[in-house]
A and B are shown apart, each in its own frame.
Chain A
Amino acid sequence: MVLKKLFFLFVIRPLLLIFGGMRVSGSTLPTRGPAIVIANHNSHLDALALLSLFPLETLPRVRPVAARDYFCSTPLRQFISRYLIGILPIDRRPRSHHARPLEPLLNALERGEILIIFPEGSRGDPGELRPFKSGFAHLAKKRPDVPVIPVQLRGTDRALPRNEALWVPFVLEVQIGKPHYFSKTVSEFTQEIEGVYLHQEPLPSKRFPASD
């Protein structure tokens, strides 16, 4: 886990400082687990930008939850994902009906880790919010004592969108919401968290479509 700290201290943070510049507003991120951080997902920069905001001592215990089939598909990708970023790999399509996909996540929360979950599932089109999957709500239902913190990321979709390899500098905005705790039902809690994102002010590019 020393590798992860060094990677963020000497590679990711300087890169984000030079080619991004972070504008953080709202509440503060949790420094102690267990906690669940929810974020919208449009770019590979999302997880890196979020992780870079945690203090170095906390960093090893912050785990982005990511698909095993994509992030562990090649040896290089697996090395970066596991050792430099420290993802928590999960199976998108469990092989049997008896598999319990939430188990590794519950274990991680038990160990006091902070999970980063992107409920949109995968990176969508730039600036578009895809419908939230309810996985995080099922997790929160099992651990209603764990805070769920919605974080809104903007600018990453412009800086490094899906299917692009060129990182173009833009200021990255991070808005940290207040913690929510599970109550009522899974679908209601999913809607409650999704509502935080739907009621955000849209990006300038969405307010003034270029074609008007």
Chain B
Amino acid sequence: MNTVFVSAFIVAALLGIASAAEAILRARGRSSDELYQRIRSWWIMAAIFFALILSGPTGALWLFGILSYLALKEYFTMIPIRQVDRRIIFWSYLSIPFQYWWIADGWYGMVLIWIPVYLFLLLPLRQVLTGETRGFLRSTGTVHWGLMLFVYALSHLALLYTLPDREGIGGPELLIFLVILTELGDIYQYLFGKTFGRRKILPKVSPGKTVEGLLGSLIATALSAWGLSWLTPFDLPTALLAGLLISAAGFVGDVVVSMVKRDVGVKDTGTLIPGHGGIMDRIDSLTYTAPLFFHAVYYLYY
């Protein structure tokens, strides 16, 4: 657990540098309210994250359960639904406590199939009971897709947290490694894109993303993974590969959620996090990095 404290201090130091840089930019009149709010929100998110991680498994599981709920609520508010879909949406919300209960209980098999198998079979059953056939496929698919991304994929963060210790390194350390690198990957993409960005990589989906931003992020995240490898059992090549995986997967998660936003025609998914948008905007990358990183670690070390 000492390593958790150390990583909290490192994050605080990084945010301190960001705040100081913002203050200097502000003094020169080159800052913006959005940047200020963004950094402020980072402080608050980091404080909540580390406080609940340090409080133990109960706090950590509640944190991710609530994140799943808030993201799913934003998603269901955004998407087009029929009036009768209220029922399967209610069932979808009810699946969240079960998913996290299986994780707390250590029932690994059930964690992996609860949403992909059981909810996949249960939601259509509820639709049949309602009996509205028009738009059945579309709305059942849309609702289940949200469950897969914001409950199933995101819950791998909690699953990672519950991994047992191996020589003093366990779930909490791996979780912190993953979350810090995912967020760093996002920030690197933004910074490299802003500084060197020329060629747009996916102009139709996310006009802000550039080839230069992605390449910069891949390299910088890999190097950061090496720098943070004391949080993991990884040797140098594994750490570099983990960094590449997290950066690339985070990019995909980011643009997939952009795709949803383009489809329904909104810019931000919400206003819950000042300077960032909604919860969905902040956890988009994690929906891809969490399951991929978890299964890579589980395969290699457990």
Write the residues of chain A forming the contact surface with B, with a CB cutoff of 8 angstroms: 21, 23, 25, 126, 155, 158, 161, 164, 166, 168-171, 204-205, 207-211
A210 to B270, Cβ gap below 8 A? Answer: no
Q: Which residues of B contact A166 (CB under 8 A)?
A: 86, 90
B271 to A23, Cβ gap below 8 A? Answer: yes
B264 to A208, Cβ gap below 8 A? Answer: yes
B85-134, CB < 8 A from A: 86, 89-90, 93, 134
Q: Which residues of A contact B264 (CB under 8 A)?
A: 204, 207-208
For the complex, give the distance between the alpha carbons of A166 and B87 in Å.
9
B70 to A205, Cβ gap below 8 A? Answer: no
B135 to A204, Cβ gap below 8 A? Answer: no
Q: Which residues of B contact A23 (CB under 8 A)?
A: 270-271
Q: Which residues of B contact A209 (CB under 8 A)?
A: 80
For the complex, give the distance between the alpha carbons of A155 and B266 in Å.
16
A158 to B135, Cβ gap below 8 A? Answer: no
15 contacts between A and B (CB under 8 A): A21-B73, A21-B272, A25-B271, A126-B83, A161-B86, A166-B90, A169-B76, A170-B77, A171-B77, A205-B81, A207-B264, A207-B265, A210-B134, A210-B138, A211-B134
- Chain B nearest CB, measured from A65 CB (Å): 27
For the complex, give the distance between the alpha carbons of A51 and B91 in Å.
29
Find the B residue at minimum CB distance from A173. B77
A211 to B135, Cβ gap below 8 A? Answer: yes
For the complex, give the distance between the alpha carbons of A211 and B135 in Å.
6
B89 to A204, Cβ gap below 8 A? Answer: no
For the complex, give the distance between the alpha carbons of A128 and B138 in Å.
23
Chain A residues touching B, majority SS: loop
A-B complex: 7 closest residue pairs judged by Cβ atoms? A210-B135, A208-B80, A171-B77, A205-B80, A210-B82, A168-B86, A168-B90
For the complex, give the distance between the alpha carbons of A161 and B89 in Å.
14
B74 to A171, Cβ gap below 8 A? Answer: yes
Q: Which residues of B contact A21 (CB under 8 A)?
A: 70, 73, 272
Q: Which residues of A contact B80 (CB under 8 A)?
A: 204-205, 207-210
Q: Which residues of B contact A170 (CB under 8 A)?
A: 73, 76-77
Do A204 and B74 contact each other (CB < 8 Å), given the known contacts A21-B272, A168-B86?
A: no
A204 to B265, Cβ gap below 8 A? Answer: yes
Instruction: Kindly identify which residue among B74, B89, B139 contacts A210, using a CB–CB cutoff of 8 Å.
Output: B139
Tell me if B78 is interfacial: C-beta within 8 Å of chain A. yes
11 extra interface residue pairs, beta carbon distance < 8 Å, beyond A21-B272, A169-B73: A21-B70, A23-B270, A23-B271, A25-B271, A126-B83, A169-B76, A169-B93, A171-B270, A204-B80, A207-B80, A208-B80
Find the B residue at minimum CB distance from A167. B90
Q: Which residues of B contact A126 (CB under 8 A)?
A: 83
Tell me if B79 is interfacial: C-beta within 8 Å of chain A. yes
Q: Which residues of A contact B89 (CB under 8 A)?
A: 168
For the complex, give the distance between the alpha carbons of A126 and B90 in Å.
17
A164 to B86, Cβ gap below 8 A? Answer: yes
Do A171 and B79 contact each other (CB < 8 Å), given the known contacts A210-B135, A210-B138?
A: no
For the complex, give the distance between the alpha carbons of A209 and B81 in Å.
8
- Chain A nearest CB, measured from B105 CB (Å): 24
For the complex, give the distance between the alpha carbons of A161 and B270 in Å.
23
A158 to B139, Cβ gap below 8 A? Answer: no
Find the A residue at minimum CB distance from B69. A169
Mask: chain B, 247-285; 1 = CB below 8 Å from A; 0 = not: 000000000000000001110001110000000000000
Q: Which residues of B contact A169 (CB under 8 A)?
A: 69, 73, 76, 93
- Which has the most chain A C-beta neighbours within 10 Å: B73, B89, B135, B265? B73
Q: Which residues of A contact B265 (CB under 8 A)?
A: 204, 207
Find the B residue at minimum CB distance from A171. B77
Q: Which residues of A contact B82 (CB under 8 A)?
A: 205, 210
- Chain B nearest CB, measured from A2 CB (Å): 32
Q: Which residues of B contact A208 (CB under 8 A)?
A: 80, 264
- Chain B nearest CB, measured from A166 CB (Å): 6
For the complex, give the distance between the alpha carbons of A23 and B90 in Å.
21
- Which has the most chain A C-beta neighbours within 10 Å: B77, B79, B89? B77
For the complex, give the distance between the alpha carbons of A182 and B282 in Å.
45
For the complex, give the distance between the alpha carbons of A170 and B86 in Å.
10
Q: Which residues of B contact A168 (CB under 8 A)?
A: 86, 89-90, 93
- Chain B nearest CB, measured from A21 CB (Å): 7
B73 to A171, Cβ gap below 8 A? Answer: yes
